Structure 1
Amino acid sequence: MRILVLGITGYLGGHAAEQLRTLPGVRLLGAGRAPAAGPAVDLATMDARQLAEVVASFAPDAVVNCAGAVSGDAVTLAEVNARGPAVLCAALREAAPRARLVHLGSAAEYGPTAHGERVTEDAATRPAGPYGATKLAGTVAVTAAGLDSVVLRVGNPVGPGAPPAGLPGRVVRQLRPAGADPGAVVHLGDLSAYRDFVDVRDIARAVVLATTAPGPLPPVLNIAGGQAVPVRELVHGLARAAEFRGRIEETLHGSARSADVSWQCSDITAAADALGWVPRYGLEESVAALWASARDEPAPEPAGDRVR
């Protein structure tokens, strides 16, 4: 089985590739914008014909699209998250119409929900900002393409190797230089929002199951922890793992999305039914693994941050 992973050098793509690589009888293929990814594939700039030529050269049985942007202006987000999946689907229809496409979406596509609610895949989608809106456009492009596809609508990733583009990785970058100094102060935004955190290793396992599952799958599956946790709990868990002795002050201006989406929680029943998938890692384990993975990296300078 030939599996092509787009965005293979990224956070989610790297973890997915690590688990896919262990499957017997699988030849893992990679591509992306980074030179280490393999052949250059930029979904934001390539047209369908160019991408179809690349896809045809791989002759994949399955394609996992982990390419995406989590920050940047609206144009950048639209090019990568909305245009990219649409171009990929057009290329697959031409070059590999029977290949399964596993595309990573985001729980941000749902937007604001009632406090205490677990959203199912058929819930209304009302994204609160450009990121969620562009991810939703990508999901629509995939589900309307007529391919053998599934969108994994991922919650808030956490776990080993989390990059500074997301809140867990950025908090680590502040805690590390602070050390155990009791006088250290870490300034953050409002941490009262609730988020549904899911370990990156559990996301990767869901990718493996979705890629190799026989027969058609539901068009969208929630991949999350299945419970809402205050962001403050994540941050203080990281502080404990870091043996941080200073103070955490929520004095910075928070993100607009945190104010608009104070609660986020996904119902993961459908993923259990379709894939036999349930999360294996709790938040405490994810936080410990994140801190352990960051200890040997060069310590960055402390900087302010805000909740996404």
Structure 2
Amino acid sequence: MTVHLHWFLPTGGDGRTLVDRHAYTDGGITRNRSGGIAGVRAPDIAYLTQIAKAAERLGFEAVLTPTGTWCEDAWLTTVALAQHTERLKFLVAFRPGVLSPVLAAQMAATYQRITRGRLLLNVVTGGDSVEQRRFGDHLDHDRRYARTAEFLSVVRGVWSGRPYDFQGEHYQVEGGLTALPPDPLPELFFGGSSPAAGPVAAEHADVYLTWGEPPWQVKEKIDWIRRLAEERGRTVRFGIRLHTISRDSSREAWATADRLLADPAVHLTALGRGDDADVRFDLATGSPGALTRFLDAVHPGVVVNCAGATRGGARDLTRHNTVAVATVCEALRRSGGGARLVQVGCASEYGPSQPGSSTAEDAVPRPGGPYGVSKLAATELVLGSGLDAVVLRVFSPVGPGTPAGSPLGRLAEAMRRAMQAGDGELKLSGLGVQRDFVDVRDVARAVHAASLSAAQGVVNIGTGRAVRLRDAAAVLARVAGYAGNLHEVDAPHGIPQRPVIGAPRGEATIAEQLAAAPFPYPDGCGPWQQADVRTARDRLGWRPRINLEESLADIWMEAACRI
């Protein structure tokens, strides 16, 4: 097997963090025209030439060049660098939906003649709907892949050297032709893990690309694409994109990795209503002007908004979840700092979903209660603000700090009291509800990744796996050492369905209150919830790491220590 090694061309800027902010924008819409961002090296032609020459001298076959709002144009940049190199090839990323396929075929043919055959093409169908709309592309995820299939059919047809006709849903071409076909034909690189992407890769790609994932996941994807290609009588090669750390010893390499993950250059300033905040400020009642003055004073690179309320009437929820976000957006618009906004949303914005389904970011939101409505309104404010912003829709967070009044917090408390009283049976109801539980520490990692990325729009944060509350209760019992029986009962008549936690003696016990709640999750999502988390993987490079048992063990430890 022959291994081909490629390097990366940082056309958005270069630096020493794991994921860099971009050189001229700080990752934001507001441009910094006075100079580059501190700690990020600008992608000027002199610096990129140094990288290209070094890659060529060290024996790399090609350099991958990204595409997107925050990068220099890949076609123009690389054809300029080709004049400073002799053998190095350029893997040019481009989006099929933003230019004509016949024009793309012509550009590739011209490029091959100018560079003497040093073009490779990386087809980026696009995973970020906000970024796509910025370029005028309003198709949904699956239709973008269908259009890519037509696009590549036209490109290859035009390269045949004969007039090419094509009639499809997205393209109609009559006599498509280039003056001279490219020689050699550029190889097509293609990535995508969704069901819509696989057949396109199998039909058109020369090389299928995947991210650096656990070996078993990579094997699954390779086997999948290879099978689809064989069904079409084709052979596809495979490539993988990895970030490497090279040091003199393994210990030094891991120490560098830990430093990158810790990101010690980050300085946090916390605003909030509580005593533990660095600066006391109530977003629900404070003025945008006051917040703007604070932002201009500290000049943050990123603003993370995770403030809000989960309980209360519609008026209070609107004030804390929607008005507060409007204040943040207005303050950021007025501020001259160009900070990036990471808004922490929630899965309640989607509302109920079909059991067995995975909810993707393009699902139509239908919140099932005032909490979800207030959070969805906040998301719409962020997306329509014109700011450099991303909304993380967090599914069901668990782990350290889980409120005692939450369903799992109440379950742990009921179990603690049962063990304290020596009860051998715990009666519960509503355990058929299924939720996508994600540890709060994984959520924190997602916020960090979103802060440093250029992702826009909405990104789901979950595990991609629904778990029955019944199964979570069994795991909690195991980690707690509760040897009694968990007995699921129907909700008895006459007991209120909205239990009051901490009821005094003589009223319903915790166990009775849990048994009274047929749907112990007041999030308006009904009996089923499961996230489609492919966008978080593809756009943020994020995956959950902490399993549910560890999260539940932390919930139990806090409940066991509660007096």
- TM-score between the two structures when normalised by the length of structure 2: 0.47
Counterpart of 1:268 in structure 2 is 533
Task: Verify: 1:151 aligned to 2:391, yes or no.
Answer: yes
Contact 1:20 1:28 in 2 (8 A): no
Contact 1:181 1:246 in 2 (8 A): no
Task: Verify: 1:118 aligned to 2:358, yes or no.
Answer: yes
Q: Which amino acid aligns with 1:70?
A: T
Contact 1:151 1:220 in 2 (8 A): yes
Shift of 1:259: 8.1
Counterpart of 1:305 in structure 2 is none
Counterpart of 1:279 in structure 2 is 544
Q: Mean alpha-carbon deviation: is it higher for 244-253 or for 109-118?
A: 244-253
Q: Whole-Å Cα distance in 2 between the matches of residues 39 and 259 of structure 1?
A: 33
Contact 2:398 2:551 in 1 (8 A): yes
Shift of 1:96: 4.6
| 1:1-308 map, 5 Å | 22-96=262-336, 98-179=338-419, 181-183=421-423, 186=426, 188-213=428-453, 216-248=454-486, 249-250=488-489, 251-255=515-519, 257=522, 261-295=526-560, 297-299=561-563
Aligned to 1:136, the other structure's residue is in SS state helix
Q: CA, structure 1 residues 261+277, in 2 after alignment: closer, same or farther (shift >3 Å)?
A: same
Q: Which amino acid aligns with 2:282?
A: D
Q: Deviations over 1:94-133 (max 9, x none)?
A: 1255101011000111111111110110101000001111
Q: CA, structure 1 residues 171+144, in 2 after alignment: closer, same or farther (shift >3 Å)?
A: same
Q: CA, structure 1 residues 281+43, in 2 after alignment: closer, same or farther (shift >3 Å)?
A: same
Q: Deviations over 1:170-191 (max 9, x none)?
A: 3222222332654255454412
Q: Which amino acid aligns with 2:456?
A: P
Q: Deviations over 1:53-82 (max 9, x none)?
A: 232232211101111211112111111111
Contact 1:192 1:231 in 2 (8 A): yes
Q: Deviations over 1:1-56 (max 9, x none)?
A: 9xxxxxxxxxxxxxxxxx99942211111110101112111111112122222322
Q: Whole-Å Cα distance in 2 between the matches of residues 80 and 149 of structure 1?
A: 19
Q: CA, structure 1 residues 20+149, in 2 after alignment: closer, same or farther (shift >3 Å)?
A: farther
Q: Which amino acid aligns with 2:304?
A: V
Q: Whole-Å Cα distance in 2 between the matches of residues 280 and 108 of structure 1?
A: 23
Counterpart of 2:243 in structure 1 is none
Counterpart of 2:499 in structure 1 is none
Q: CA, structure 1 residues 59+230, in 2 after alignment: closer, same or farther (shift >3 Å)?
A: same
Q: CA, structure 1 residues 39+260, in 2 after alignment: closer, same or farther (shift >3 Å)?
A: closer
Shift of 1:254: 3.2
Q: Whole-Å Cα distance in 1 between the matches of residues 369 and 393 of structure 2?
A: 17
Q: Deviations over 1:157-213 (max 9, x none)?
A: 011221224222232222223326542554544121111110111101001111122
Task: Give structure 2 stretches of 5+ with no counterpart.
Answer: 1-16, 18-258, 490-514
Contact 1:149 1:219 in 2 (8 A): yes
The percentage of counterpart residues that share the same residue type is: 42
Q: Whole-Å Cα distance in 2 between the matches of residues 119 and 55 of structure 1?
A: 35
Name which one, 1 or 2, has greater alpha-carbon Rg: 2
Q: Whole-Å Cα distance in 1 between the matches of residues 312 and 428 of structure 2?
A: 20
Query: Which structure carries more relative contact order (alpha carbon 8 Å, separation 6+)?
Result: 1
Contact 1:60 1:96 in 2 (8 A): no
Shift of 1:225: 1.0
Counterpart of 2:84 in structure 1 is none
Contact 1:97 1:147 in 2 (8 A): no
Q: Mean alpha-carbon deviation: is it higher for 217-226 or for 51-60?
A: 51-60
Shift of 1:231: 1.4
Task: Give structure 1 stretches of 5+ with no counterpart.
Answer: 2-18, 300-308
Q: Whole-Å Cα distance in 2 between the matches of residues 31 and 293 of structure 1?
A: 26
Q: CA, structure 1 residues 136+298, in 2 after alignment: closer, same or farther (shift >3 Å)?
A: same
Q: Which amino acid aligns with 1:101?
A: L
Q: Which amino acid aligns with 2:556?
A: W
Shift of 1:233: 1.4
